[in-house]
Amino acid sequence: MLALLVYAFIYSNTKVVLREYDVASAELPAAFSGLRLAVVSDTHGKFDRRTLDAVFDADPDIILLTGDIIDDAAQIQDAADFAGALADRAPTYFVTGNHEWATDAAREFISKLSLLGVHVMDGRAEYFEKDGGRIVIAGLPDPTAHGDNPSPAAVLENTKDDFVLLLSHRPYEPDHFAEFGTDLIVSGHVHGGMVRLPGLGGIIGPGREFLPKLDGSRAYKGANGSTLIVSRGLAGVKFYDTQFHFPRLFNPREVVVITLTKG
Ligand SMILES: [Fe+2]
C-alpha cells in the first residue's frame, strides 16, 4: 500500500500525460477540421523539459497558455524562455490567471511575452485565418486583474457568426458566455482537484472548496452548443505566500490536446 502511494505521488508530480479531447462544431470552417490545440495551464513556475516535449509530441497547430504560468516575479525569465520555445513551434496565445496578478509583475510578464510574439489575449479578440477560413480566438483576463477589464460583451462583440474559441483561466459553466456565441472555452485553475479519488473525482479546488464541480473530468457541454474544457494543469497549488506547493495525487500533470472537427 505504501509503495503504491509513493509511486502514485511520484507519478502525479513528475510525469506529463497528453489528455485528448475531440470537439465537433457546425460553426467550424471546413479548413479547420483536424486542427489541433495544445493547452498548457497552471505551470506555477515549473518549466520542465517533459512539458515542452509533451507539447511538441502533440504536434499542435495552436498553443494555448491559460494562466497561472508564474506565481513569482523571479520566474519571469524562465517563463519567457519556455513561452518563447512554444511560440517558435506554433502560434501561442496567453491569458493571465490569478497568480500572475498576485505577483504585481503581471504587466512586466505580459510585455515580455508580447516581445516574443506570444498573443496576449487579456480582453482581446483576434481572427485566426487558414486557407480562406477564419475563427475568433478571444480571451478574458482573470477577474483579479488590475486596471480596466473590458466586459465579455465588449470583447466578444460581433463574433456570433464565427467559431469562437475563448480563453478564461477560471472555468465557468459552459453556457456562461453563450449569449456571445462562444463555441469552445478553455480554462484551467482547478488543478484537477489536486487529489483525485475513484468515484469522487477531484477533492480540493483552488479556493479550498471540497469536490470542485468543474475539475477536468470530461468535456462539459452547454445547452447552447458551447463546450468547456478544463485542463488539470501542470503543478501543485502554492500554499499561500510560501514556496511550498501542495502535491498532486492520482492526478498526473497534463497537456490537453483538443482536435477540432467540422460536425
Ligand atoms: Fe488559478
Give the Cα separation of 245 and 247 in Å (integer). Answer: 6
Residues with CB under 5 A from ligand 1 (ion): 68, 97-98, 189
Domain residue limits at 194:
2-262
d(CA 97, CA 214): 16
Residue 42 CA to residue 23 CA, distance in Å, equals 22
pLDDT digits (tens, 9 = 90+) for 130-142: 999 999 999 999 9
User: Distance between CA 237 and CA 225 in Å, rounded?
Assistant: 32
- The domain tally of the chain equals 1
In the reported structure, the alpha carbon of residue 171 is separated from the centroid of ligand 1 by a whole-number distance in angstroms of: 10
Considering Cα of 182, then 184, then 185, then 190, what sign does the dihedral take?
positive
Residue type for position 30: A
End-to-end CA distance of the chain: 46
User: What's the CA-to-centroid distance between 161 and ligand 1, angstroms?
Assistant: 31
Spacing, Cα 42 to ligand 1 middle (Å): 7
Angle between helix 76-89 and 49-58 (nearest 10): 20
Q: What is the DSSP letter of 199?
A: T
Per-residue pLDDT reduced to its tens digit, 212-236: 999 999 999 999 889 999 999 999 8
Q: State the pTM of this model.
A: 0.95
The residue ranking higher by pLDDT, 7 or 192, is: 192
Question: What distance in Å separates the CA atoms of residue 69 and residue 117, rounded to the nearest whole number?
Answer: 16
Residue 1 CA to ligand 1 centre (angstroms): 32
Cα of 187 from ligand 1 centre, angstroms: 10
Mean pLDDT in residue range 143-154 = 92
Q: How far apart are CA 159 and CA 164, in angstroms?
A: 7
Radius of gyration of the chain (CA): 17
Q: What's the CATH number where 202 sits?
A: 3.60.21.10
What pLDDT is attached to residue 237? 77
Using one digit for the tens of pLDDT, what is the confidence trace for 14-67? 789 999 999 999 999 999 999 999 999 999 999 999 999 999 999 999 999 999
pLDDT in tens, 172-189: 999 999 999 999 999 999
Q: How far is the CA of 68 from the centre of ligand 1 (A)?
A: 5
In this predicted structure, what is the pLDDT of residue 247?
86
C-beta separation of 110 from 138 below 8 A: no
Rounded-to-integer distance, Cα 91 and Cα 61, Å: 7
* Grid cell at residue 70: 508564474
- Report how far residue 125's alpha carbon sits from residue 34's, in angstroms, rounded to the nearest whole number: 22
Q: How far is the CA of 99 from the centre of ligand 1 (A)?
A: 6
Angle, helices 76-89 vs 106-115, to 10°: value is 30
What's the chain's length in residues? Answer: 263
Which pLDDT band, with edges at 50, 70 and 90, does 238 fall under?
confident
Report yes or no: 258 and 186 within 8 Å, Cβ to Cβ. yes
Grid cell, residue 170, equals 477560471
